[in-house]
Structure 1
Amino acid sequence: MIESLAANLGPWTWWIVGLVLLAAELAAPGVFLVWIGLAALIVGALSLALWDAALWTWQVQLLLFGVLSIALAIIGRRFYAGRNHSSDEPMLNRRGESLVGRTAILAEPIAEGRGRIRMDDTWWPVMGPDLPAGSRVRVTEAHGRDLRVEAA
């Protein structure tokens, strides 16, 4: 089947495979299919130049495609892993951590270590020492949605 596909489509097989993989990366982004798609396009470019060469069999093409896919994936991973993605909003997706150090007034008393505060139009479950409603507390830690507080 691979022989007939390669014989019928010629070097364009790799171009089609590469473009399909790049389109799949757009549909399901993860920066992985890009490297495999680029490997297919490179093999396609080499196929245009070497198609009539006796050495350029479909087995050699598949072997080169596999080696290039692995090599480009490793190079791409190192390239993107080394980047430091600093942000002007470092706490954007860590809302609980952005509240550490702020003070609030208990909306519900802390009884048996649990209570609630209201901050920025949001109710937050809190953990801390037992305190009556209306007490001022300071957020000391964030554990997911739960905040640890102490008397301020």
Structure 2
Amino acid sequence: MWEFLQHLSYWDWLALGTVLLILEVFGAGGYLLWLGVAAAAVGVLTLLFPALPWTWQLPLFGVLSILSAVLWWQRQRHARAPSAQPGLNRRGQELLGRQFVLHEAISGGRGKIKAGDTLWLVTGPDLPVGSAVRVIDQDGVLLKIEPA
């Protein structure tokens, strides 16, 4: 082991970086990406400075790993701007507060309304077909309604 550490070359670092990036492809969730990039960077530095001792290479790898991960985390944290369309991909949220006519009577607490070209399951008090109702909440695919 001691012999291996004393003769670390750029190929060793590039191989480690490649292995880490390949493992990242299999679903590490971004954890190995920055380690792989840091290993590749140490490999390039070792190629440029072949006399760089292993006692500098290992701490450099650690510092570059932490630095790249922290910088990416900071960038991601600041990149999360509020959306111009907060209800996007949350079907049913745009229906809250709107009034509709019952398409199927509510009996036993369940019925249907028609919103646009879609039938929605609703829960609420028993009401006949044609009653005006207001959507007050959403629970998954069920809309909670009250008489309008």
TM-score normalised by length of structure 2: 0.75
User: Cα 1:107–1:51, aligned 2, differ >3 Å: closer, same or farther?
Assistant: same
Match of 2:137 in 1: 141
Report the counterpart of residue 13 of structure 1 in structure 2.
12
- 1:5/1:136 Cα in 2 relative to 1: closer, same or farther (>3 Å)? farther
1:115 aligned residue: 111
Instruction: Please state if 1:72 is matched with 2:68.
Output: yes
The residue type equivalent to 1:98 in the other structure is: E
CA contact (8 A) 1:43 1:61 kept: yes
Query: For the aligned residues, what is the CA RMSD?
Result: 3.0
Give percent identity, aligned residues only.
45
Q: Deviations over 1:19-58 (max 9, x none)?
A: 55446656758444332222112211221233224xx12x
TM-score for both structures, normalised by structure 1: 0.74
For residues 73-131 of structure 1, what are the alpha-carbon distances to aligned partners after superposition, in whole Å with 9 as ceiling and x for unaligned? 23311220222333343222101112112222212222232222222332222122221
The structure 2 residue matched to 1:127, chosen from 118, 123, 127, is 123
Unmatched tracts of structure 1, length 5 or more: none
The one-letter code matched in structure 2 to 1:97 is Q
Cα distance in structure 1, aligned partners of 2:2 and 2:130: 75
